[in-house]
Amino acid sequence: MDIHNKETITLDFYKKDYYTKLSEYELSEEQSVYASLPLKGISECEKDPGKYPIVILYHREPAGFLILDEGEGVRAYSTNKDAILIRSYSVNKEFQGKGIAIESLRMLDSFVKKHFPSKKEIILAVNHKNIVAQHVYKRSGFIDKGMRVMGKKGELLVFHKSLK
């Protein structure tokens, strides 16, 4: 059941108003292998000024989470100084199957252009065993250019999306 009304899905920088809903956030069993819960990610961002917690809203309710990293983390995956890295991308288990993942990733282009205008590329690293996530990223416009790196949980595929 894909949703096509962009007004139902929006992206926003984390605000304290989202705390309660994000504290109730659940990852599917498969997601919990590869992503961390939002509150852990928010804590990580508070310690690193180059990381920004982003909340995916579905009808103004927190439904997903990601971190945009424009700091040192990017260098592990790209030599492009104009790249920004997606970390800890997930959709709350309760909201899965509604098309939120693909639509939010497509919307990320304009969000990055607006809030990080010097960035010309979005990158991410996905575990080679996480086939579902790879499919979602490809459907939302990311390209696998063949770059691989080793992560804590095995080989990672680095995906790219140019911003025009």
Distance CA 121, CA 16 (A): 29
HSE at residue 75, side-chain half, CA atoms within 13 A, is 3
pLDDT, tens only, 109-143: 999 999 999 999 999 999 999 999 999 999 999 99
Q: Is the pLDDT of residue 40 over 50?
A: yes
Instruction: Say which DSSP state 47 is in.
Output: T
HSE at residue 157, side-chain half, CA atoms within 13 A, is 18
Q: Where does the pLDDT of residue 3 fall: very low under 50, low under 70, confident under 90, or very high at 90 and above?
A: very low
pLDDT, tens only, 52-77: 999 999 999 999 999 999 998 899 99
Domain boundary assignment for the chain:
6-162
Distance CA 70, CA 74 (A): 6
Say which range, 70-74, 88-92, 101-105, has the weakest mean pLDDT.
70-74
Q: Of 1.10.1740.10, 3.40.50.2300, 3.40.630.30, 3.40.50.970, which CATH number belongs to 6-162?
A: 3.40.630.30
Distance CA 135, CA 83 (A): 22
Instruction: Say which DSSP state 37 is in.
Output: -
pLDDT for residue 111: 98
Tell me the pTM: 0.92
Q: Is the pLDDT of residue 99 over 80?
A: yes
pLDDT for residue 22: 97
Helix (H) / strand (E) containing 20 = helix 19-23
pLDDT, tens only, 18-34: 999 999 999 988 888 88
Q: Where does the pLDDT of residue 14 fall: very low under 50, low under 70, confident under 90, or very high at 90 and above?
A: very high
